[in-house]
Amino acid sequence: MADTRRALIVVDVQPTFCEGGELPVDGGNAVALAIAGYAAAHRDRYDLVVTTQDWHVEPGRHFATPPDEPDFVDTWPPHGRAGTPTAALHPALSGLAADAAVKKGQYSAGYSGFDGSTGDDRDLRTVLADAGITDVDVVGIAESHCVRATALDALAAGLGTRVLTDLTVPVSAELGAAARAEMAAAGALLVPSEKA
Q: So which residues are the catalytic ones?
A: 12, 104, 146
Q: Is 17 helix (H, G, I), strand (E, B) or coil?
A: helix
User: Is the peptide bond between 142 and the residue preceding it cis, with omega within 30 degrees of 0?
Assistant: yes
d(CA 14, CA 8): 16
Evaluate whether 155 touches 186 at the Cβ level (below 8 Å).
yes
Evaluate whether 74 touches 24 at the Cβ level (below 8 Å).
no
